[in-house]
Structure 1
């Protein structure tokens, strides 16, 4: 894990965040017990590189004008059209203690199900876990390629290492499998009239 270089930002003008984005910088906020709440900016390329490694809910090390810390990514706001990061929120954490974080659930084999006319209905796309910062996974994968109609997936079915605890209720259903429902097309409706 590399160290992100954050530069303190002073919001002294209207539209300063928009101007920073044009300059290739992403505005953000880091908050914590030691820091309080501080605005910063980071290079867009540096942030994109780190997000590809840690994921959008990962743990990052940072240097904010000489202050070194560790933070968890709490929120990322993206442009709805371009999907580029517009803003990021970080929460400072204790490197030695346990943290609680939402980890995305990735469904492997979902495409295979659709070729068989079966649909996976995801009720939850993430799960809350507790672990040391260095053990936080980028995502938790579940193989659904062998699912049958009526299959139900509960959080207790997720495979995680012994260093990770699932905080959410293990009886919670996060996905189920059903048969694909076809809507009658316009051609079929017209032929019936």
Structure 2
């Protein structure tokens, strides 16, 4: 994990955020006890790489005036068309403190279910966890490749390291496999085949 370089942003200037983006940087705000509502800007390419590595709910290391800091990503705002990052909200962390954050759920083996002709109904795509900042995972996995119609998966089925606690109700359903996939083309084939059988019978 690299340390990003944050530079204080002058929010008094008109259209400050737009000017920052035009220069290839991303505007953001840092909340916390020490640096409350600190407006900053950071290089867009460097930020994009770190968000890709750490996740949109991960922890970032950064420097301000040569001093190292750490923060939890609270919100990444993206352009609805280009999907590029246009703003960043961070929460300041003090040392390796305990944090509560949401992390994405990765469903392993989804392709296998597709080949079987069944569909997984996802109820949740993130899970809230509590852990030390340095132990925050980019995502949590659940293996569903052995699933079949009727299979139900809950938060308690997620693969979690011993240093991580799930905050959400372990009995809450996150996904289920409920029915076979039927497409319009499948129905049309069935109708055609049925018509052929009726013709033969006549």
TM-score, length of structure 1 as denominator length:
0.91
* Structure 2, unaligned runs of 5 or more: 192-202
Preserved CA contact (<8 Å) 2:73 2:90: yes
- Equivalent positions of 1:29-108 (< 5 A) are 29-108=29-108
Please list every run of 5 or more consecutive structure 1 residues that lacks an aligned counterpart in the other structure.
none
How far apart are residue 160 of structure 1 and its match?
A: 0.6
- For the residues of structure 1 that align with 2:181 and 2:116, how far apart are their CA atoms? 12
Does the CA-based 8 Å contact 2:118-2:181 persist in structure 1?
no
Q: Which range is displaced more, 175-184 or 72-81?
A: 175-184
Name the SS of the counterpart of 1:53 in structure 2: helix
Aligned with 1:162: secondary structure? coil
TM-superposed CA distance for 1:94, in Å, is 2.2
Larger Rg belongs to: 2
Hey, what does 2:155 align to over in structure 1?
A: 155
Query: What's 1:182 paired with?
Result: 182
How many residues were matched structurally? 189
Q: Structure 1 runs of 4+ off > 6 angstroms? A: none
**Alpha-carbon distance in 2 for matches of 1:121, 1:94:** 39
* Alpha-carbon offset, residue 81 of structure 1: 1.3
Corresponding residue number in structure 1 for 2:2 = 2
More deviation in 33-42 or 107-116? 107-116
Contact 1:102 1:129 in 2 (8 A): yes
Deviations 1:146-183 (A, max 9, x none): 11111110111111111000011111111111224536
Indicate the structure with greater helix content: 2
**Alignment partner, residue 128 of structure 1:** 128
Per-residue deviation, 1:14: 3.1
- For 1:91 and 1:69, locate their aligned partners in 2 and report how far apart those are by CA, in whole Å: 11
